[in-house]
Structure 1
Amino acid sequence: MSTKQIEVQIMGQSYRLACAPEAEAALREAVERVDAEMTKARDLSSVRGTDRVAVLAALSLASELLKLQKSVRHGEAFPVEEIRRTMSLMNSQLDAAIGQLETQASVQ
């Protein structure tokens, strides 16, 4: 498996990270989230040291993750409407494919 180097910015600080090419988009999304959370922690508190801001951001993200995990355990976090739309679309695509196969079979 090959890896590539990407350069990202978190609170104005450059970081060079290694990742698999197929994981780059997800890593960049995570970087954006960490940057946003750290910026929010810095702006909403009197804490100024980057390490302390990072700890506040990590605590906020961990709290959010724990809430999401609890919701999943209780069956509350599933995007029901999105699942329904996806299933409806898949059913339509299957119906169209079956229709094409039936048309081809009747022609032959």
Structure 2
Amino acid sequence: MPQHPTTVEVDILDKEYLVACPDEARESLRQAARHLDAKMREIRASGKVFGTERIAVMAALNITHDMLEQNTMSDAATGLLRTMESKLDNALGDSKTGT
């Protein structure tokens, strides 16, 4: 039987929002809202950006940038691991043929 979305209340920058989401995603949604709230408060506290909409856009850009950097680092780590695996395979292959 499909899960019906429930409404979850989240607070972001002193405003309450009702968001529909499946029961199994409630905690993830709350965690995402806390993260967004923290980023928006950080931007607001800097005093460089004014207006809730602008603060939200800057927070979204910062979060997206962080996410893309993590993906890039993951890709770089994957490439490094593949290179190391290849070198290890070559080294093991060389020692196997030498025995």
Fold match (TM-score > 0.5):
yes
Q: Which runs of 4+ in 1 moved over 2 A?
A: none
CA distance in 2, matches of 1:58, 1:10: 13
Shift of 1:74: 1.1
The correspondence of residues 40-79 of structure 1 with structure 2, limited to 5 A, is 40-75=42-77
SS of 1:64 mapped into structure 2? helix
State the partner residue of 1:27.
Answer: 29
Post-superposition Cα deviations, 1:36-76, rounded to whole Å, max 9, x if no partner, equal 00000111133220000011111110110111010111127
Within the candidate set 38, 41, 66, 1:39 is matched to: 41
Aligned-pair identity (%): 33
SS of 2:18 mapped into structure 1? strand
CA distance in 2, matches of 1:20, 1:41: 30
Unpaired runs of 5+ residues, structure 1, are 77-108
Which of the pair has the greater relative contact order for Cα pairs under 8 Å at 6+ separation? 2
Unpaired runs of 5+ residues, structure 2, are 79-99
| Alignment: residue pair count | 76
Q: TM-score, normalised by structure 1?
A: 0.67
SS of 2:77 mapped into structure 1? coil
CA distance in 2, matches of 1:6, 1:26: 11
